[in-house]
Structure 1
Amino acid sequence: MQQVTIRGLGEDIERAIRKMASDNGKSMNQVIKEIIHKEFEKSRRPASSLSEMAGGWSRPEAAEFEAAIQSCEQIDEDLWK
């Protein structure tokens, strides 16, 4: 495979990659390849749970939904007479 150059990562990301490489005794190239492979393998794995397969909400998204349907949770006493 040909060489690929990555530009504009940002200092914080480069520092994190360098630390991962150093902590694990690997080259930056190997760490970056592992990150890329892990990302692509994740998209090919079968879902291990329903939330992975159907998608899931973050806590803020769930809270927003709960707030939006709050009025639907109220019982209209006149309708139950």
Structure 2
Amino acid sequence: MQQITIRGIDPEVEQEIRRRADQNQKSINQTIKEIIYEQIRPVKPPTSSLKQLSGRWTQEDAAEFESAVKFCEQIDEEMWK
């Protein structure tokens, strides 16, 4: 990951960043990253990444998947003795 150095921040802005970091018990670096991401790419709810995956398969996709993993459902009785 690349590094960025920011110079010339107003003292009031620096103090607000430090205050937020302390309040949220996070590092200054993490706090600044969160502020940047909020402005560039609005924060998505934690479940949004899963929503992209769920409910997107067609019936054909689901049937193909089920067929491909069917062998995983077989129990080897000899192994459990």
Give the TM-score of the pair, scaled to structure 1: 0.49
Larger radius of gyration: 2
